Structure 1
Amino acid sequence: LSAGQPDPRLLPPLGPHLAALAAEIGPPGGYATDAVLPDLAALARDRLAADGVPAAELTVTGGALDGIERLPAAHLRPGDAVAVEDPGWANLLDLIAALGMRTVGVPVDDEGPTAGGVRAALAAGVRALVVTSRAQNPTGAAVSAERAAALRTLLDGRADLLLIEDDHAAELARVPLHPLAGATAAWAFVRSVSKPYGPDLRLAVLAGDEATVARVAGRARVGAGWVSTVLQRLVVSLWRDPATAELVRHAADSYDRRRDGLVGGLAARGVAAHGRTGINVWVPVPDETVAVTTLRDAGWSVAPGGLYRIAGAPAVRVSVSALDEADLPALVDVTARAARPTPTFTA
């Protein structure tokens, strides 16, 4: 329960879609002339607009992290400070460090980054802010309507700040989206297809202001060039398929049952875990090493919270995607013990 991958048993089958594409597109194509296929762009705009995200300008990247990597590189310089959620996505923390930039942690509760934390980060002079819209990794937080309104007020008129939103869970997050898109002059909204449709589909759509999207697309042209049009056609086929949409809804329901079952079971034992959306549950513990060891000795592998936090309190991350519902009672028992270890007394 430590990997954070989607459940492969719930991913839609790609074989029928690939077979149909093979018959449709014929021999392999040449170098792409457009970064985004028109059909993909039209569908992406419709899907984003339905969630309140303006998407007049968009491009395609090789997954969420690829898009997020290009954004600071297009706007910032080494040494600049980037506000990130604390606890937050471990890969993002590593990426900011690899770009030679500094992270400033923003505390997170179940409704997303706290207004006080964002205010403090802005006062500290951060040049960019990264927000996870829903299914935040590792806490499962989702930005509420009230939190979005408060953050928009804080960000209004900040011409010096790049706003990046990550909606990696997309259709798997069964709560309304409350985007911040457009709150600042420079902004980008990134939505990946990895969690609902499969991690090997290295594709995300990136919407934003005209200058930001142009910089990301321009940088791609002198590097990777474009995202494979075969992959783009495959995503179009998946998006258009009602049977695939039903499979994604089934997957979302399954994740919700497992996650809510773990959070509810722990609450009944007096352990306040977090997991409002997504596939992860964040369990505060007094000692991460003791908790991880206790769970390991009972046959469960979970991730230590130190991988995800900057200044936050100790915790462990439990990913429910590999969890069978029948095993929930046993997992609740041992996780509750790990979160409240029995004191050791010495004479």
Structure 2
Amino acid sequence: MTKTVDLLWLSSQINDASVKGIAQAASTLIREGHIAVGMQMPAVRELAEVLGVSPATVSAAWGQLKKQKVLAGKGRSGVWVSGNTVMPRPIRFEKIGNYGDNIRADLAMASPDPALLPDLQLALQAAIQSPQLNSYYREAISLQLLNAVKPRWPYSAEAFLATDGGFDAMNLVVQTLISPGDRVIIEDPTATRLLDMLDNVGAEILPLSCDHEGPQPDALATLLEKAPVMVIYQPRTHSATGHNISRERRRALAQVLANSSTLIVEDDGIGDLSVEAGWSLGAIYPERTIHVRSFSKAYGPDLRLAVLSATSEMVKRIQAWRNFGVSWTSRILQDAVAWMLESASVQQDIAVARETYRQRREKLLRALASRGLELEARDGLSIYIPVVSEQFAMITLAARGIAVLPGERCRLGPTQFIRVSIASINEQQLDMIANALVIASGREISLGADL
């Protein structure tokens, strides 16, 4: 018979009855062997009563440990210890890329084509002339980068912060401004790592449904009734679906948000590769908007650079938390990006890259359409393909040596889809890829297709 952890003993080991405190105390007891793998945890309601907290608090604590694969189970079967290695991990993100050795076309990661990135030599030569080079002065953003981004920013922001890439910026926001149990609205689907980040801090995720114009205003209005602390969305060129938010939808979202005090966080991950000009609700709600723009995909992943804007108070809070670690982003990288933003030749390179990606995207869309699979032309480094079954699609494509991203990595709802990168697609493989994608979608190939 499975042994149950003694209720009164466990409660005596918990000194902080918050979500974080309960999770930390339990994880320490499990890691140190005081609670063995296989043991049953006390009933949620009973532990909550002894601790003097709501059952939801204990459930949220157990939820954190379930995501770390330490606890398992729910409902009448109860919760038991399933592992003793407690380590926060981006589980969704880590699953991307493990497709075996027989892959001929890896279309899972929507990474920029290295051949279309600007040459960094002149930019780095200019950057090493930084007047603050090798100083330990903790400035939020270099003067050169600040002067370069301000004229291009979509609203007049109060304060700016340079970070080590877009996901670093988003993680700083999440770690600083969200507490365990806080409710956070986020688009469904969204970027894989954003879901991992929210899971890691123990947020309650409220999925926001989207269509081809962006987040749906009625759905947002309903979710705002649950008093979330934050809403996160991608203002242009969505990483999973490729949609850009239409001007009418922007106005509708702004109207819905008018009657709330919820923080607005905008994740502009594709940056200058988007066909749309930058925009922000910060133009309307500057006091509660955080706008993040990444420069990695357009200018170079190894630059690891993004810029965040917010109020001075929010930037100070984020910077204070950041001081536990690196404190500031390399001025060499900041000033290299600043130089490229003001270089006419680099901006021409970016325009060429944007056009090349458009051509590659449209070639694949035409190949699919000729086989009976008509898809809407959107934007970005990938295309979104609805499928009957993601599992069938992944198995079908893997058997043909093709890897793509399954929707489950970046969605919360039931909609089945795959994301297919076009960034570095091999045109010689185009027919093979198109045929496989149509079959994987659950449709029959049109008889007119070139087989």
Structures share fold, TM-score greater than 0.5: yes
What secondary structure does 1:166 align onto?
strand
Alpha-carbon deviation of 1:245? 0.9
Identity %: 30
1:345 counterpart residue number: none
- Closer/same/farther in 2, CA of residues 176 and 25 from structure 1, 3 Å limit: closer
Matching residue within 268, 273, 276 for 1:172: 273
CA RMSD of aligned residues (A): 2.1
Residue in 1 aligned with 2:140?
35
Partner of 2:332: 230
User: Does structure 1 residue 333 correspond to structure 2 residue 435?
Assistant: yes
Give, in whole Å, the separation in 1 of the partners of 2:277 and 2:339.
Answer: 25
Task: Tell me how far apart the structure 2 counterparts of residues 157 and 213 of structure 1 sit (CA, whole Å).
Answer: 24
Distance of 1:33 and 1:3 partners within structure 2: 34
Structure 2 Cα separation of the partners of residues 274 and 86 of structure 1: 19
Residue of structure 2 aligned with 1:252, choices 336, 339, 354: 354
Unpaired stretches in structure 1, ≥5 consecutive residues: 343-347
Q: Aligned-pair distance for 1:290?
A: 1.4
Which of 116, 125, 137 in structure 2 is aligned with 1:19? 125
Unaligned runs of 5+ in 2: 1-106, 445-451
Relative contact order: is structure 1 or structure 2 higher (C-alpha 8 Å, sep ≥ 6)?
1
Q: 1:10-55: per-residue Cα shift (whole Å, max 9, x none)?
A: 1111123223444x3599623124221112111111111xxx3222
Q: 1:192 aligns with which of 272, 290, 294?
A: 294
How far did 1:168 drift?
A: 1.5
> Cα 1:8–1:233, aligned 2, differ >3 Å: closer, same or farther?
same
Superposition pairs of residues 85-164 of structure 1, within 5 angstroms: 85-159=187-261, 161-164=262-265
Distance 1:305 1:243, change over 3 A: same
What is the match of residue 413 of structure 2?
311
Query: For the Cα contact (< 8 Å) 1:55–1:208, is it kept in 2?
Result: yes
- How many angstroms apart in 2 are the aligned matches of 1:74 and 1:30? 26
Aligned to 1:293: 395
Cα distance, 1:107 vs structure 2: 1.3
Q: What are the superposed Cα offsets for residues 244-273 of structure 1, whole Å, 9 maximum, x if unpaired? A: 111111111111112233234434544354
Q: Is the 8 A contact 1:58 1:205 kept in 2?
A: yes
Say which SS state the counterpart of residue 59 (structure 1) adopts.
Answer: strand
Judged with a 3 Å threshold, the aligned counterparts in structure 2 of structure 1 residues 194 and 78 are, in CA distance, closer, same or farther, namely: same
TM-score (norm 2): 0.70
Distance 1:167 1:34, change over 3 A: same
Q: How big is the shift at 1:150?
A: 0.3
**Aligned pairs (5 A) from 1:63-74:** 63-74=165-176
TM-aligned CA deviation for residue 72 of structure 1: 3.2
Q: Which residue of 2 aligns with 1:220?
A: 322
C-alpha separation in 2, matches of 1:274 and 1:305: 18
Q: SS state of the match for residue 303, structure 2?
A: coil
Residue type of the partner of 2:247?
A: A
Amino acid aligned to 1:19:
Q
Aligned length: 337
Report the Cα distance in structure 1 between the residues aligned to 2:233 and 2:182, rounded to whole angstroms: 17
Give the alignment partner of residue 46 of structure 1, picking from 137, 151, 168: 151
One-letter amino acid of the counterpart of residue 308, structure 1: C
1:174 CA drift (Å): 0.8
Change in CA separation of 1:33 and 1:178 when aligned onto 2, cut-off 3 Å: closer
Structure 1 CA distance for aligned equivalents of residues 387 and 310 of structure 2: 39
Q: Among 320, 329, 333, which residue is 2:422 paired with?
A: 320
| Secondary structure of the corresponding residue to residue 106 of structure 1 | strand
The one-letter amino acid paired with 2:162 is: V
SS at match of 1:205: strand
